Structures are given as structure tokens and as C-alpha cells.
């Protein structure tokens, strides 16, 4: 009986609060009248909408964190070294005896991400699935990369095109790899820098027996790298691709290499020199 009284008291308190709130609301509505009451309802609607928006933002952030963690787990699997003879320091770490075995497990994990989360995670997961399919079902991997090279997410499209070009080059399909590298070089992307794409293109030219084209491309890459300057006009150190291009050029054509602009001397600390 005592419990019932307490429960009933709480119900009465709740009813009193509800009645008081509604009374105040009606009074305000009566004072505002007409449009004023509509404005009040609108304000209440905005409060409700704000609360819903806050809930959505919280839920959405939680969902993003969950998606990022799932992607992270899959990437760890995909990047685990294949080392059947060397036991892992971490007994719980994944172990794979072959690239195919690792690729199959990675595909399974990325498929979970693609099935559960929206973009950009779904499309990013598809990219990783495609690159791992190259170890399992190579032709299917090619097809997926072709499709991904056309998606509306620029980062994925560029990486897919680069992976496709590398795979084609690896299969000695140089006539198919060359135009892909050439197109990537024109995109001016930070993901696949033009000099990186051109360096791969020069390698393809060399494999095709197009020595003259390869030499010209290597010279241009190395020369541009040596002439690069920052916003203040200070010479920048040669990039990694620039140095690699110069080394390859020296092997292919020492005379052309000798015509490169000399590398800028390293800048001395302020106050020295």
C-alpha cells in the first residue's frame, strides 16, 4: 500500500507538471493569439528539431567512430606481413602463411564494413576488397578497380586507377598501363603526384623498348625537381621521385644526365655561412 501511494504521488506530481506546463503554454498562446500562437508552436518545433539534431549528431559521430575502428581492423589484417616461419610477438595477432590466405581474410573484413556502413567507408572498403581480389580472383579485381576508378569520391577513384595501372604493369600489359599512368600525371593529385605517375610511365616506356621517350620523361622529372622553389623563392631539395629519376637517367643516358641543372646546395642555418 505504501508503495502504491508513493507511485501515485509520483503520477500526481507528473500530472501536475504536465497540467501546469500546458496551462502556461495556453496562456502564452492566448496572449500572442493568431500568428503569435503559430510562432510559439514554431519555436517549440525548433526546440524539438534541435534536440533531434543533437541526437543525430551524437549518433552519427558514434557511427563514424565505429566505422573507422572496423576499417582499422580490416587494414591491420590486410597489411599483416606473411611470415609462416616467424612467430608473432603478439599471440593474438593475425598470422598468415600466404598472401592469398591474408587476402581472403582481409576481403571478409572489408565486406563487413561495406555491408554495414555508408560512404565514404563503403567505397573505401570496396577499394581494399578490389586490391585484395588481385591475389584471389585477379580478373574480378581488375573489373572492380575499373568501376572504382569512375566513382564520385576522388581519392578512391585516383587510388583505384593507380592500383589498376600497377597491376597491369605487373602483368606486362604495358599498352594498358601507360595511358593510365599518363592520365594520372595530368590530375595533379597529392595522393599520386604527377612525378610519381610519370616515373612509373617512364619505367613502362623502358620496358616497351621506348628508350627515347623514357629518357625524355626522366630528364623532365629530375630537372623540374632540381628547379623547384618554395613560396619565398628558396630552392627546395630534390624530391624522392626526382632523385630516382636522375639515378635512372644516369644509367640510361649519362650524357643527358650531365645536362641536368646541378642540385642546389643545402640551406645553411640562419647566421651561418
In a domain, 257, yes or no: yes
Q: Residue 27: is its pLDDT beyond 80?
A: no
Average pLDDT, the chain: 81
Q: What is the C-alpha to C-alpha distance for residues 233 and 167, in angstroms, rounded to an integer?
A: 39
Distance in angstroms (rounded) separating the CA atoms of residues 29 and 41: 9
Q: Is 137 exposed, middle or buried (0-12, 13-18, 19+ CB in 10 A)?
A: middle
In-domain check, residue 55? no
Considering the domain boundaries, does residue 34 fall inside one? no
Within a domain: residue 208? yes
Which of 104, 119, 148 terminates a domain? The answer is: 148
CB 178 within 8 A of CB 201: yes
Buried b (16+ CB within 10 A) or exposed e, 207-235: eeebeebbbbbbbebbbbbbeeeeeeeeb
109 lies in which domain range?
65-83+94-148
pLDDT tops 90 at residue 40: no
- Same structural domain, 168 and 130: no
Percentage of the chain surpassing pLDDT 90?
55
pTM: 0.73
Asked if the structure places residue 222 within a domain, the reply is yes
Asked whether the CA dihedral 207, 212, 213, 218 is positive or negative, the reply is positive
Instruction: Band the pLDDT of 267: cuts 50, 70, 90.
Output: low
Q: What is the pLDDT of residue 104?
A: 96
> With bands split at pLDDT 50, 70 and 90, how would you rate the model's confidence at 46?
low
Structurally, how many domains does the chain consist of? 2
Are 245 and 193 in a shared domain?
yes
Amino acid at each position: 500500500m505504501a508503495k502504491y501511494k508513493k507511485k501515485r504521488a509520483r503520477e500526481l506530481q507528473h500530472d501536475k507538471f504536465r497540467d501546469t506546463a500546458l496551462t502556461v503554454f495556453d496562456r502564452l498562446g492566448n496572449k500572442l493569439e493568431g500568428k503569435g500562437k503559430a510562432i510559439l508552436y514554431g519555436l517549440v518545433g525548433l526546440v524539438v528539431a534541435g534536440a533531434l539534431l543533437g541526437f543525430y549528431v551524437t549518433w552519427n559521430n558514434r557511427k563514424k567512430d565505429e566505422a573507422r575502428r572496423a576499417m582499422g581492423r580490416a587494414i591491420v589484417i590486410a597489411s599483416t606481413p606473411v611470415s609462416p616461419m616467424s612467430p608473432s610477438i603478439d599471440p593474438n595477432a593475425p598470422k598468415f602463411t600466404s598472401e592469398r590466405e591474408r587476402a581472403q581474410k582481409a576481403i571478409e573484413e572489408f565486406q563487413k564494413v561495406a555491408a554495414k556502413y555508408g560512404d565514404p567507408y563503403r567505397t573505401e572498403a570496396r577499394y581494399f576488397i578490389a586490391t585484395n581480389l588481385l591475389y584471389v580472383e585477379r580478373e574480378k579485381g581488375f573489373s572492380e578497380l575499373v568501376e572504382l576508378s569512375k566513382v564520385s569520391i576522388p581519392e578512391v577513384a585516383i587510388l583505384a586507377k593507380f592500383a589498376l595501372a600497377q597491376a597491369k604493369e605487373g602483368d606486362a600489359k604495358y599498352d594498358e598501363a601507360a595511358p593510365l599512368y599518363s592520365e594520372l600525371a595530368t590530375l595533379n593529385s597529392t595522393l599520386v603526384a604527377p612525378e610519381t605517375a610519370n616515373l612509373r610511365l617512364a619505367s613502362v616506356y623502358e620496358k616497351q623498348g621506348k628508350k627515347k621517350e623514357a629518357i625524355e620523361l626522366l630528364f623532365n622529372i629530375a630537372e623540374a625537381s632540381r628547379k623547384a622553389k618554395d613560396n619565398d623563392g628558396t630552392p627546395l631539395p630534390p624530391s624522392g621521385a626526382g632523385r630516382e629519376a636522375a639515378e635512372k637517367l644516369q644509367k640510361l643516358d649519362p650524357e643527358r644526365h650531365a645536362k641536368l641543372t646541378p642540385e642546389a646546395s643545402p640551406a645553411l642555418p640562419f647566421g651561418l655561412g
